[in-house]
C-alpha cells in the first residue's frame, strides 16, 4: 500500500477563499504524476503560496521529498531586510523570500552559517541574498547598514526583526549586565531597526514591519525570565507601532 505524507503546509498570508489539492500517485513507481491546487485571497485576488512537502515512501524516489509551491507575484523584487538571518528561523525566512525572488539583505554575526546558507540558496537556483556582518547590539552600525541600503537601492519594503537569544536562566542568575545584554538582543534592536526603515516606508506609502515574539511568555515557562519579559514587550511595541504608523 502506498502513502503520501504531507509534512508541512505553510501559509504566508491568510484569509483564503478556497483551495483545492489533487494528488495522483503512480502506484507502480510510487511517484506523484499530477497535482492541481489553487488558493485565492478574496481581499487582494492574489494567488497564495502554500508549500506542500510530500515524502515518497516507495519506488526509486523512496525517502526523497518533493516541494510543490506557487509564487507571490507581489513579493518579486521587493527589498527585504532580516536580522539574524544566518541560521534558525531567520535562515528559513531568508530562503523563502529568495524563493519569491525578493531582494533580500540579512545581518548576522555567524558568518560561517550565513555563507553556508548562501551556498545552499545558490545551489537551489534561487535569487541570492546579501549578508552583512553585524552585531545587533551595535545599534549605530545596524542603522547605518539600513540607511546605506536605502540610499543606494531605495526604501525597504519589508523589515523582519528575527534575531534573538533564548538561553535558559533563572532569576538568581541574572545580574544587570546580563539583563542589558538580553534586552539588547531580544528587544532593543527591534525598535531601532524599525526607526531606520519607517521614513522610507512612509515615502513610498507602503511597507511591512514584522516583529517575531514568542508564545513562551504567555505559557509562563519560567526558565528564561529575561527572554520572556523582552518577548512580551515585543507585542506591546508592535501594537504601538501599528497605532503610530498604521
What are the residue numbers of the active site?
Answer: 227
Q: For residue 10, what are the CA distances in angstroms to 19, 81, 191, 213? A: 13, 21, 28, 18
| DSSP letter (8 states) at residue 81 | E
* Residue 8 CB neighbours (<10 A): 12
Measured between alpha carbons, how far is 110 from 116 in angstroms, rounded to an integer?
10
Contacts of 211 (CB under 8 A, 6+ apart): 161, 190, 194, 234, 237, 238, 241
Q: For 69, how many CA atoms within 13 A lie in the half-sphere containing its CB? A: 18
Contacts of 201 (CB under 8 A, 6+ apart): 155, 156, 157, 207, 209, 245
Measured between alpha carbons, how far is 67 from 51 in angstroms, rounded to an integer?
7
Measured between alpha carbons, how far is 147 from 197 in angstroms, rounded to an integer?
8
Burial class for 234, CB neighbours closer than 10 Å (0-12, 13-18, 19+): buried
Measured between alpha carbons, how far is 27 from 32 in angstroms, rounded to an integer?
9
Residues linked to residue 39 through DSSP beta bridges, in sequence order: 19
Amino acid at each position: 500500500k502506498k502513502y503520501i505524507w504531507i509534512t508541512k503546509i505553510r501559509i504566508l498570508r491568510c484569509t483564503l477563499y478556497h483551495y483545492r489539492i489533487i494528488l495522483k500517485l503512480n502506484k507502480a513507481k510510487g511517484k506523484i504524476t499530477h497535482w492541481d491546487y489553487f488558493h485565492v485571497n478574496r481581499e487582494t485576488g492574489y494567488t497564495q503560496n502554500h508549500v506542500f512537502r510530500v515524502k515518497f515512501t516507495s519506488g526509486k524516489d523512496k525517502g526523497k521529498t518533493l516541494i510543490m509551491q506557487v509564487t507571490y507575484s507581489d513579493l518579486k523584487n521587493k527589498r527585504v531586510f532580516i536580522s539574524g538571518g544566518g541560521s534558525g528561523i531567520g535562515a528559513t525566512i531568508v530562503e523563502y523570500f529568495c524563493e519569491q525572488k525578493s531582494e533580500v539583505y540579512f545581518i548576522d554575526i555567524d558568518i560561517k552559517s550565513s555563507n553556508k546558507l548562501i551556498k545552499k540558496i545558490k545551489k537551489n537556483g534561487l535569487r541570492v541574498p546579501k549578508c552583512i556582518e553585524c552585531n545587533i547590539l551595535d545599534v549605530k552600525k545596524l542603522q547605518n547598514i539600513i540607511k546605506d541600503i536605502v540610499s543606494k537601492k531605495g526604501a525597504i519594503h519589508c523589515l523582519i526583526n528575527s534575531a534573538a537569544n533564548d538561553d535558559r536562566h533563572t532569576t538568581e542568575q541574572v545580574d544587570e549586565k546580563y539583563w542589558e545584554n538580553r534586552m539588547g538582543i531580544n528587544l532593543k534592536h527591534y525598535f531601532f531597526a524599525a526607526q531606520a526603515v519607517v521614513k522610507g516606508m512612509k515615502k513610498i506609502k507602503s511597507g511591512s514591519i514584522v516583529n517575531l515574539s514568542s508564545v513562551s511568555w504567555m505559557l509562563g515557562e519560567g526558565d528564561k525570565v529575561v527572554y520572556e519579559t523582552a518577548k512580551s514587550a515585543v507585542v506591546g511595541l508592535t501594537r504601538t507601532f501599528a497605532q503610530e504608523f498604521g
